[in-house]
């Protein structure tokens, strides 16, 4: 005889995952020897003395980021070339061998100080792939790598996100590293228990599966962790699974959308006039934060060690654009009523108190209780009379933003047509768009 399966509790975020999601916008900073050699991937043979920023100013990075609405920043402490932006005790290939600040400088220290001074949370990227370390490709690299992690996670106070890049461009005859991921992740847990760990499939935050600034639609914050056998293993199918998550997934793994404000991740003078437009950045915002993801937008410092004027000005204009879009919420202070219509559907209604022209709706689930909505429609109506469908969608999660042809409405209705378990009250915002 078959026993009815006991429904398991839905996955829900840990406090660290919840805090991470609520930041909404993080600024990525790719900086290192590549900024001086004008490359995207260094090969590990770069001289440490090539690192020579004339006027490095981490406070300028942090000020620009904060003014643009970012709540956290993540710095490449070491990229694939192996050059360390802090004086690592396990390799000479670092700022200590450069002439910058007479070899006594520490970019990671200046970065974390600047984050704190500007009220931003600090995260660090430490490339697993290391083209300089002599021990790379041997079991001893796991010791080397965990020692570097320990330096970064003990010297600079609280670190809230540790970013493990899956990239590895070793050719067919290249060195292959068998990473000791359980040990690497345990090192983070031991030294910074409140930090979230990003890698292709977590264990806390998953990659969104592409670098174009576009989360999947639908986008579930739950997934099946077995989809990615190990960090760095990628296929079209894995990319799709990462983009969309999985409503039946057993773990909470929200997706992080990483993309660059420029064509490259590192600063190249030839790209100074290729900074993404306000319209393009706004699309990226709608396609990431507006699809239940978090946006990690890369803004690379120049070889002088500052963010370029073009990028800073673009960030400010983009922030103004978003502020204008969301300035007036017609539903602010209006209490939505919610009726459960079946175990997995509900109708939420809000009376705006007057007729408005609306073209944008913000929907939010209280994800502390997991993600539930699987299909919904948004309808509008005047003072009385027929409801017209404005837009429909699948997942909501932390935030869903839907734009539609402007319509004159007084009342708004969200029909939750399907949910994985009983839907909870939604937050609703209504804007001109």
- Phi and psi at 350, nearest 5°, equal -135, 130
DSSP string, 78-104: E-TT--BSS--SS-S-BGGGSSGGGGT
Q: Nearer to ligand FUL by C-beta: 42 or 397?
A: 42
CA angle 427, 18, 182 (to 5 degrees): 150
Pairing of strands 400-419, 388-393: unpaired
Shortest spacing between CB 30 and ligand FUL, in angstroms: 6
Strand, coil or helix: 194: coil
Identify whether the C-beta of residue 207 lies closer than 8 Å to the C-beta of residue 200: yes
Number of residues that bind ligand FUL (CB under 6 A): 5
Q: Nearer to ligand FUL by C-beta: 167 or 279?
A: 167
Residue 411 to residues 7, 71, 387, 427: CA-CA distances in angstroms?
37, 34, 9, 15
Query: What's the DSSP call for residue 424?
Result: P
* CA–CA dist 142, 181 (Å, integer): 9
Pairing of strands 400-419, 345-364: antiparallel
Give the largest Cα separation in the chain, rounded: 76
Shortest spacing between CB 131 and ligand FUL, in angstroms: 12
Shortest spacing between CB 166 and ligand FUL, in angstroms: 6
Binding pattern for the stretch 180-219 against ligand FUL, x by CB under 6 A and - elsewhere: ----------------------------------------
233 binds ligand FUL (CB under 6 A): no
Neighbouring-strand partners of residue 256: 207, 294
The only residue of 134, 167, 186, 323 in contact with ligand FUL, by rule CB under 6 A: 167
Q: Nearer to ligand FUL by C-beta: 207 or 252?
A: 207
130 binds ligand FUL (CB under 6 A): no
Q: Nearer to ligand FUL by C-beta: 161 or 365?
A: 161
Q: Nearer to ligand FUL by C-beta: 161 or 417?
A: 161
Q: Nearer to ligand FUL by C-beta: 177 or 345?
A: 177
Identify whether the C-beta of residue 416 lies closer than 8 Å to the C-beta of residue 348: yes
Shortest spacing between CB 290 and ligand FUL, in angstroms: 21
Q: Nearer to ligand FUL by C-beta: 199 or 292?
A: 199
Shortest spacing between CB 129 and ligand FUL, in angstroms: 8
Question: CB under 8 Å to 124, separation ≥6 — which residues?
Answer: 74, 75, 77, 108, 152, 156, 159, 161, 162, 163
Q: Which of residues 239-258 bind ligand FUL (CB under 6 A)?
A: 258
Q: Which of residues 258-277 bind ligand FUL (CB under 6 A)?
A: 258, 265
Identify whether the C-beta of residue 97 lies closer than 8 Å to the C-beta of residue 103: yes
SS3 content of the chain, % helix, strand, coil (to 5): 25, 25, 45
Shortest spacing between CB 265 and ligand FUL, in angstroms: 4
Q: Which residue, judged by CB position, is nearest to ligand FUL in the bound state? A: 167
* CA–CA dist 152, 358 (Å, integer): 48
Shortest spacing between CB 260 and ligand FUL, in angstroms: 8
165 binds ligand FUL (CB under 6 A): yes
Q: Nearer to ligand FUL by C-beta: 23 or 258?
A: 258
Q: Nearer to ligand FUL by C-beta: 37 or 338?
A: 37
Q: Which of residues 28-57 bind ligand FUL (CB under 6 A)?
A: 40
Q: Which of residues 392-431 bind ligand FUL (CB under 6 A)?
A: none
Contacting residues toward ligand FUL, per CB under 6 A = 40, 165, 167, 258, 265
């Amino acid at each position: 005889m078959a026993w009815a399966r006991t429904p398991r509790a839905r996955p829900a975020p840990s406090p660290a995952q919840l805090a991470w999601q609520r930041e909404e916008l993080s600024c990525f900073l790719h900086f290192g020897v590549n900024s001086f050699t004008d490359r995207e991937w260094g090969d590990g043979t770069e001289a440490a003395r090539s690192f020579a920023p004339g006027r490095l100013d981490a406070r300028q990075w942090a000020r620009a980021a904060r003014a643009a609405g970012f709540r956290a920043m993540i710095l490449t402490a070491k990229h694939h070339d192996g050059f360390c932006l802090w004086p690592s005790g396990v390799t000479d290939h670092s700022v200590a061998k450069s002439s910058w600040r007479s070899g006594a400088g520490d970019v990671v220290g200046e970065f974390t100080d600047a984050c704190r001074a500007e009220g931003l949370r600090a995260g660090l990227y430490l490339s697993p792939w290391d083209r300089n370390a002599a021990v790379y490709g041997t079991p001893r690299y796991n010791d080397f790598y965990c020692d570097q992690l320990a330096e970064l996670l003990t010297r600079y106070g609280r670190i809230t996100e540790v970013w493990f890049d899956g990239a590895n461009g070793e050719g067919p005859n290249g060195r292959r590293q068998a990473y000791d991921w359980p040990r690497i992740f345990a090192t983070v847990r031991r030294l910074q228990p409140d930090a979230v760990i990003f890698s292709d499939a977590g264990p806390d935050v998953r990659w969104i599966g592409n670098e174009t600034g576009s989360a999947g639609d639908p986008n579930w914050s739950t997934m099946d962790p077995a989809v990615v056998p190990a960090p760095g293993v990628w296929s079209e199918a894995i990319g799709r699974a990462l983009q969309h998550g999985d409503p039946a997934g057993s773990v909470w793994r929200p997706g992080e959308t990483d993309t660059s404000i420029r064509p490259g991740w590192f600063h190249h003078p030839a790209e100074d006039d290729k900074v993404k437009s306000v319209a393009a950045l706004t699309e990226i915002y709608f396609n990431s934060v507006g699809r239940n993801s978090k946006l990690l937008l890369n803004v690379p410092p120049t070889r002088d060690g500052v963010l370029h004027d073009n990028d800073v000005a673009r960030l400010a204009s983009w922030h103004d654009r978003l502020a204008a879009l969301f300035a007036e919420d017609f539903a602010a202070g209006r209490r939505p009523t919610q009726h459960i219509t079946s175990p997995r559907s509900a109708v939420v209604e809000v009376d705006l108190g007057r007729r408005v022209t609306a073209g944008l709706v913000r929907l939010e689930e209280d994800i502390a209780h997991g993600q539930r909505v699987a299909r919904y429609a948004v309808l509008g109506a005047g003072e009385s009379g027929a409801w017209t469908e404005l837009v429909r969608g699948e997942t909501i999660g932390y935030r869903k933003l839907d734009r539609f042809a402007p319509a004159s409405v007084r009342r708004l209705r969200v029909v939750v047509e399907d949910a994985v378990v009983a839907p909870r009250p939604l937050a609703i915002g209504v804007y001109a768009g």
